[in-house]
Amino acid sequence: MQNWDAMNDDDFRMEVRRFIEQNYPEDLRFLAHRPRFNVIKPWLMLLVEKGWSAPHWPLQYGGMGLSPRKLLIFMDEQGRWGVARQFLGESGTVQLGPMLIRFGTEEQRQTLLPKIRTYETIWCQGYSEPNAGSDLASLTTEAVIDGDDFVINGRKIWTSSALDATHMYLLARTDKQAKKQQGISFLLVDLATPGITIRGIKNIAGTTDYCEVTLDNVRTPRHNIVGGLNQGWTVSRSLMGFERINTGSPRRAEFAFKRLEALARERGLFKDAGFLDRYTQLGLDLADLKAVYMYFADMVSRGETLGPDLSVLQILSSETNQRITEFMLEASGDLGLTVSAGEDDNEGVDALTPFLVMRAVTIGAGTAEIHRNIIAKRILNLPA
Amino acid sequence: MTNKIVNATDSPPPGVTDKDTESSSEIREQLALLRDSANRFTAGDAHIKRARALRGTRPGYDLDVWRKMAKLGWLGTLIPERFGGVGLGCAEMATICEVLGRSLLPEPVTAAVVLAGGTLLYGDNEELKSELLPALTKGQMIPALAWRENVHHCDFLAVDTRAEETPHGVRIFGAKRLVVGGVFADGFAVSAQSRSGIVLYWVPSAAAAPGLSFRVLPDGRAIADLTLSGVEVPASHRIAGPGAAITALARAFDEALIMTAAELLGLSTKVFEITLDYLRTRVQFDKPIGSFQALQHRAADLYIQQRMCRHALDEILSSVQKPDLHPDTRGALASRIKARCSDASLRITRDAVQMHGAMGFADECDVGLFLKRAVTLSAWLGGAQVHRRRYAKLALTEMAS
């Protein structure tokens, strides 16, 4: 077994770069959307074959055993080449795997991790509900013990990639008497179980990426609980290090900025002093966002614990993304509205799709307002 | 620099490299020690009180304070040991400037030591350096740089002042404006056009005195305008000849931009702390006003601005330390941070006034002092718009062509 973590940083970077450049499908670079599984599958299978599908898992579970420092290199290189987010945002390898390693039983690790790593099972995350969004702890999906099973009833919504998933990990209330956060358990469910209905929800960008999942008397064996009864909140909040700085990466903003540049070249906008001023401002915003990101990335590299100030990165990153795509829409004018969505469109740069897609970044990973609440209360110690 | 913006795909990724983490933690420790010492110097609000009391007075500076800073070695931070300095880098100087900025210290450390001192240091007259720099580090000689002229744009290359050759040196004709520190300077570094390009001369204050007039900046500090009507200066006082003068000015200018940014960050951080205290204690509608979400989110936004300045400054300080840095890259970095900290400090100080309500509008409230210092320093050496354009020119030229 290759010990990737023992490699010198530069050699490792070059090895990763070479592999990506030689193998990643050209037509899937810098996608505006998260691709469907069957589109990205050939690439994921190459990663599996190479042993690279779970880079941050320990070697003993089939991961690459990368330290945070090497992981950042690994992710940087994917971002640099515009590798689809399917891997980075994938719920099984990035989210569930580490949680199982931290909280799962040995049996869960032995049976579940190999299938996650090889994409034999594909996982989606059942957290949000119609009446539990920002206030997630008010969720009402209920799981009741009945013999050897939990019986689950409720509705999950905004579940990304549920149409491609085979399994779901979810939060359900297992003690109605307990305080909000304390009566919740973390359960695993096979989506083929009777009683599950999945409905795709079309988003404003025109794609059907997220879903509503209805659970009607769905049975899952009692051993499919992670972290013990009523420990679900702790398990779901346990993501650490790079798993958390992922959504704050400046790569998407950088990509948006490059598209803005392409648009400007195409339309000759750089001759316009007004355009250049705002373009420069955004370029500086991006440069300073990178500085903030690197501060947190360096913390992760040194193995330090991230605090609530990570919300600063989350807000900056998402809002910089939005500002760039908003300006791009404005700069493209009516012509930008008529090009069809699609990255390799020869008719011109599509300004509309990125603008619409980026509406979600200040919502999905915790709304920008919730992150401002976190800063105000937990960092600035402002009174309640 | 250019690559970073223009062509991210082909640039080396910003990821972690094999840098020596042990030595970087050592550097962090040293900077923390320096910060502690500077914080002790500025403890309490004595300097803020002084800044208030000295408003509109002349010279408006305290030489005792200046000498104390010399004793601490701060004035020689950037000056090599062979000229009596400490020979440290921009990161150390910025640490000091940031703390001084917090305290609203009226003495113009950046203008005298970094801008004027840097012009001397990066010039090509070794003899003059040996004469002036040790005195500068000891606090016995305070220089000022007279570079600004009466043109709209803020560019140290826009020089109309003339240096006409005489048998023994030059005679200088021209008008310099807004010389920070000019009120108590012992001499002026003056940029002028010679037959072969821009040069820099040292004009002792005795020779310059007849042409000095004074005005007051928004923060209450006096500054000088300097008219030179044929002042004669010996050849030995040439700080830098053609070519070297531009190099020296560029470097001193960039370092002064970075230090000004550090001062702006310092004062923004301090006024934000003052404002947070107010939000926690001021009660209206039976609650501390800091419990209202409108104000909480406003405060969170200011905090984000402050953190962005902090991390951008830290990144830039470690980049400018690199020995093989191209001047254009340094210029782009300096303009980037000056633009960021100018914008952010104006926003933070304006909002500090707003969140203090009617009290914030009262002259007796200190937040107004912070606002006015931010207004002053933001505009000095060029404001945010000036520096965004300079950044575009230096870092984004490939793009525009």
Predicted local confidence at residue B290, as pLDDT: 98
Q: Pairing relation of β-strands B143-146 and A184-190?
A: unpaired
Predicted local confidence at residue A125, as pLDDT: 93
Q: Which residues of chain B have pLDDT under 70?
A: 1-23, 397-401
Which B-chain residues 235-294 have CB contacts (< 8 A) with chain A?
A: 276, 279-280, 287-288, 290-291, 293
CATH 1.20.140.10 region(s) of chain A? 241-379
What are the backbone dihedrals phi and psi of residue A383, each rounded to the nearest 5 degrees, phi first?
-70, 160
Q: What topology is assigned to A123-235 in CATH? A: Butyryl-CoA Dehydrogenase, subunit A; domain 2 (2.40.110)
The predicted model gives A8-35 an average pLDDT of 89
pLDDT band at A29 (very low <50, low <70, confident <90, very high): confident
The SS3 of residue A188 is strand
Contact criterion met (CB < 8 Å) for B8 and A80: yes
pLDDT band at A339 (very low <50, low <70, confident <90, very high): low
Within an 8 Å CB–CB cutoff, is residue B26 touching chain A?
Answer: no
- Token digits for A68? 């945070």
- Kindly list the residues from chain B whose CB atom is less than 8 angstroms away from the CB atom of residue A6: none
For the segment A308-317, what is each residue's pLDDT rounded down to a tens digit?
999 999 999 9
- Distance in Å, alpha carbon of A255 to nearest chain B alpha carbon: 9
> Which domains are seen in chain B, by residue range?
21-141 (1.10.540.10), 144-244 (2.40.110.10), 249-400 (1.20.140.10)
pLDDT band at A207 (very low <50, low <70, confident <90, very high): confident
Choosing from A212, A243, A319, A326, which is the catalytic residue? A243
Predicted local confidence at residue B16, as pLDDT: 36
Question: Torsion-angle region of residue A268: left (phi > 0), alpha (psi -120 to 50) or beta?
Answer: left
The predicted model gives A326-339 an average pLDDT of 83
The predicted model gives A10-39 an average pLDDT of 89
Q: What kind of architecture, by CATH, is found in domain A241-379?
A: Up-down Bundle (1.20)
Contact criterion met (CB < 8 Å) for B392 and A289: no
Within an 8 Å CB–CB cutoff, is residue B322 touching chain A?
Answer: no
CATH 2.40.110.10 region(s) of chain A? 123-235
* One-character DSSP codes across B195-246: TTEEEEEEEEHHHHGGGEEEEE-TTS-EEEEEEEEEEEEEGGGEEE-TTHHH
pLDDT band at A36 (very low <50, low <70, confident <90, very high): confident
Q: Pairing relation of β-strands B197-204 and B187-194?
A: antiparallel
* Torsion angle (degrees, nearest 10) of CA B63, B260, B368, B55: 30
Within an 8 Å CB–CB cutoff, is residue B21 touching chain A?
Answer: yes
Between A43 and A350, residue with greater pLDDT: A43
Residue A345 in this model has a pLDDT that exceeds 50: no
- Is A90 an active-site residue? no
Radius of gyration of chain B (CA): 22
- Kindly list the residues from chain A whose CB atom is less than 8 angstroms away from the CB atom of residue B280: 381-383
Contact criterion met (CB < 8 Å) for A312 and B336: no
Residue of A nearest to B10 (CA): A80
- Distance in Å, alpha carbon of A213 to nearest chain B alpha carbon: 34
Contact criterion met (CB < 8 Å) for B307 and A292: yes
pLDDT band at A86 (very low <50, low <70, confident <90, very high): low
Residue A329 in this model has a pLDDT that exceeds 70: yes
Residue of B nearest to A289 (CA): B308
Q: How far apart are CA B231 and CA B239, in angstroms?
A: 16
Predicted local confidence at residue A78, as pLDDT: 85
Predicted local confidence at residue A333, as pLDDT: 84
Counting Cα atoms < 13 Å in the Cβ hemisphere of A244 gives 22
Residue A88 in this model has a pLDDT that exceeds 90: no
For the segment B16-75, what is each residue's pLDDT rounded down to a tens digit?
343 444 467 788 888 999 999 999 999 888 999 999 999 999 989 999 999 999 999 999
CA distances, A250 to each of A63, A257, B308 (Å): 26, 10, 14
- Kindly list the residues from chain B whose CB atom is less than 8 angstroms away from the CB atom of residue A297: 15-16
Task: Quote the pTM value.
Answer: 0.91
Predicted local confidence at residue A382, as pLDDT: 98
> Where is average pLDDT lowest: A80-84, A141-145, B197-201, B342-346?
A80-84
Q: What is chain A's mean pLDDT, rounded?
A: 90
Predicted local confidence at residue A85, as pLDDT: 65
Residue A241 in this model has a pLDDT that exceeds 80: no
Contact criterion met (CB < 8 Å) for B299 and A9: no
Predicted local confidence at residue A346, as pLDDT: 45
The predicted model gives A109-123 an average pLDDT of 94
The predicted model gives A203-215 an average pLDDT of 91
